[in-house]
Structure 1
């Protein structure tokens, strides 16, 4: 009798399919993080504005921590660059398998933080645009929250299969990514976003964007006998009960809905679209480098008796702007605009913005104020 027992076949742990799925998840999360981080690093001041909104909301909703959150507001620009650069660096680290276990856990913590913010926005209807992909892709709060939940599931899947990833000697790539990411953020702060995705960018017509790109079309949702019906035109049958009117071509809505310029006496919006206007945008009359006004004053003086009319756009009080004009010898008229609109038009304070019959011909950070000849050449 043969006493040798037949050994059972060796069972392989895992399957090739799961390994492939884990690799796909790693690539997807890495690409999303790199894309999201780069879009926001292109405009870190935009992310700063969103962080300020969140901290101000938290300060209001959590009175016991009011002082703590308000103390964070002055730090938001640095925090913006840090978070945006971290997204890019972590995404690249995941893609090149740099310390995948540690990277995955850090990404999980970061996504948990973002998930909390997007849920708070969606559930309480606060900060209704999270800025997840900057101004490149606008997401509703619940869509943003859903996106973060998907990312969370993918990251947990990656962590669960972390033993399938081999660490690679790619530290130099992660280091180089860190340097370049921070450099991009600093450049965007010092000289405006390299890629302007805002509706007031060079080459865009402001008055055209204040109108629908095509006639708006709606569908009417009505009810009768417990059943719901949809019509492109509202039915004349009075037995139908109105429930809802839904816009069909959402993308045709005006891109600009809040641009308005005024004086104490009248609305000046339409006049800003007539002829050539160089607007010196002043969002605040304090906490800025006063040395930058020298170049702006030289530009304004150089435009006298030309076909370009310099004017000030500001959201500060009349007393403040009058004192500012006198102190810095800016003898040009001023007009009022909404503070949020000015933040959207210009990321620097001050800055200059050139319109020719409503078409944006130029936009300059105060660190790159042009000469009068350059401005005149753009509107010939």
Structure 2
């Protein structure tokens, strides 16, 4: 509780995080042991503060001078306001003071600082959604299930919080237990039995992923060293990739996770990529036709016809591959890409016959169609 206006001013000057202030009348303050505590606005405000600790700083005020300084009337209370970390004015919460509603409002108006990734609670699910929706660099400490889970306010969680505060302007931080959130372990190629505990990172700007070795200790120094290593480029990104083919002289070039970005980013090439899955029946159905397309374009050095297994190799999420097969077109006229982030054109308004695919690459090519050396079906003997 703020006891006075001077106390409030002193405390707010020290805050670097988002600040949430609840304004209450004295009679709103209910003892925690009271049966009515959990259903009151005061109890719900406290529950929200507990759920989002590390994400925002919560204060409450009942004194006249503090309430008067915000030009509030006691008849309006209880009220909740937010002071964003950028200090850009006050934001008033206008809904009913319930933990779920208030948490959703706070998360919607702020970028997450640090918290637990979980879908076991409504607040946790909100934080998790907000965390993964953020465009900031993300660091996640992943722990084995029930790993020393005695006091989360100390030891490793506290160490992560300290680091998160140091690098708050550069990234956001979270922690999770085992496979609490589906797909996270698969995304970072983590073995649930042998790799934990571990720290991982994802940079959504370029879709780069990073993973530490299995942690022997989870000290501030260990966490900080990994964060600095990622931010300053000392730690290499991880890529899920099949081995690079020893021979790749076919008409259709086989790409893998290690090579796909270098190929599609070639500034003097138009590149067509088929993203397929080994089990995809439609992919198998068009395989011979796609191989024929590669043969048709084999005399044109400025066009590369290629394919990649989208299940066993990493491809950027920004390519928005939702199903198989997906054809993506990387036109030379769009390169070089800004920040080396490849942006494909979609294979639009075209089917999967040889004529349709060949017509597409000629129509969409970066080069004069009169100079392209693309064989016709008749020339291929089809």
Q: TM-score, normalised by structure 1?
A: 0.31
Which structure has greater helix proportion?
1
More strand by share: 2
Q: TM-score, normalised by structure 2?
A: 0.31
